[in-house]
Amino acid sequence: MSETVEQIAKHYSAAMDSVNLINQINAKPTKTQEDVATVDRNTAHLKIMLNKTFWTTENLSPLEVAALITVAATV
């Protein structure tokens, strides 16, 4: 079963939410263990989404960049 345009848009929106969250955490001067866990979960989500075959004309560059981000706890 292939995804509808609306479903693809929802997937993309959710993936961009992950991108934005990762970027927000990455910008923090100090990071907690929870921040690290949150980034790990969201990068895993992005890697799964990048492997989906339903994408059409969506810009996947922000997903690709954010999927490579790792952070370490600083407190």
pLDDT of residue 10: 98
Task: Give the domain ranges of the chain.
Answer: 5-66
Q: What is the pLDDT along the chain (75 residues), one digit of tens a residue?
A: 689 999 999 999 999 999 999 999 999 999 999 999 999 999 999 999 999 999 999 999 999 999 999 999 987
Q: What is the pTM of this model?
A: 0.93
Question: 40-47: long-range contacts at Cβ-Cβ below 8 A with a sequence spacing of 24 or more?
Answer: 40/70, 42/18, 42/66, 43/18, 43/67, 43/68, 43/69, 43/70, 45/14, 45/15, 45/18, 46/15, 46/18, 46/19, 46/22
